[in-house]
Amino acid sequence: MKKSINVIISGGGTGGHIYPAIAIANEIKLRYPEANILFVGAKDKMEMEKVPKAGYDIKGLWISGIQRKLTFSNLIFPFKLISSLWKANKIINKFKPDVVIGTGGFASGPTLMMANRKKIPTLIQEQNSYPGITNKLLAKKAHKICVAYDNLERFFPLNKIVKTGNPVRQDLLSIHTKVEEAKTFFKLDKKKKTVLVIGGSLGAKRVNQLIVTELDFFKNQEIQLIWQCGKLYYQQYKEFNKREDVQVHEFLNRMDLAYAAADYIISRAGASSVSELCIVGKPTLFIPSPNVAEDHQTKNANSIVEKHGAIMIKESDLHTFSVVFEMLLKDKGKQESLSENIKELALPNATNDIVNKIEKLIS
């Protein structure tokens, strides 16, 4: 294959779509240092900030999702779509990609639609156990669909599906060697157990509210917290840093060390988080967000819970948290079995396998 290839990667809206896209770009760049990689995102979404920080160029489309109620945004959606299709067409004509990759999110729709129309090879990377409407529509014309869960032939053509898993940070593969470094980095009391709380890059309102109500429970259990409350909530909760057993973070730049330091993990169930936690292999309690399309976080979490790899509490049942978590703390056998079972679901070579498929499409 030629040394210099042109690749468009489109996806965003949340970290769950952006970080897999960046991981794929990094692997392509590793194999083909002279590759030209261009991202296409939605103008006002977080990818416009995160992608340039990762060292890649990005173009923005004027696109957003359809709301479930009548709004001004819904009324102008047809104009946004036409504008985005026109701009995606213009970008593709100028950049001349050898392949176009979609990782989900609003911008991937117009971008892959135009690529398919021009007979350019396209690949979809679907992170969730229940795909969104954009990827369902794109699947009909896509050449290959890389998935992380079983049974997606309900939504996608079986002959296009390849189970690869979701791309994860490669530094997570060696966290078992970083425990002492992690405890020093976070200035933890080495005599106490540590709970890591992660609710996504923006934060999770109900998870944060739960942690506030359970701070005394954690203290009584002699547990210290590394609590990533998210960008939207940091100002509200940073005062709890005054407590010696609590660390509140807006964002965790060293997730490898956060995972290494943790004895237990409380997390939302976004696809990227679930894939990472399978590799991390710590006793995990999922609190899925019910406020996402098709309730896909509950489905993601269920896929692990059904195989006895994690515990799940729905937001409607959070009043049972202290009882459920205390039972976990007291049951060493349960902790060990959860860790062993979730590790068996890990797919650590996802990024490599996805780029192998991309290479085949190009060649």
pTM: 0.87
d(CA 26, CA 32): 10
332: tokens are 């060493």
d(CA 225, CA 214): 11
Q: How many CB atoms lie within 10 A of CB 53?
A: 8
Taking each helix axis as running N to C, give the angle between helix 332-343 and helix 271-280, from 0 to 180 degrees, rounded to the nearest 10: 110
**Cβ contacts of residue 148 below 8 Å, gap of 6+?**
126, 127, 128, 129, 163, 164, 165, 166, 271, 275, 347, 350
Could you state, in chain order, the average pLDDT of each consecutive group of 10 residues for the chain (363 residues)? 87 84 95 96 90 95 68 67 91 97 92 96 94 89 95 95 92 93 96 94 88 97 96 94 95 94 97 94 96 86 96 97 97 97 95 96 92
Residue 197: per-residue pLDDT: 98
Tokens 């609190």 found at:
287
Backbone torsions φ then ψ of 195, nearest 5 degrees: -110, 130
Return the closest-CA partner of residue 299 out of 342, 289, 107.
289
Return the closest-CA partner of residue 201 out of 13, 49, 47, 15.
15
d(CA 310, CA 338): 6
Residue 73: per-residue pLDDT: 61
Residue 23 is which amino acid? A
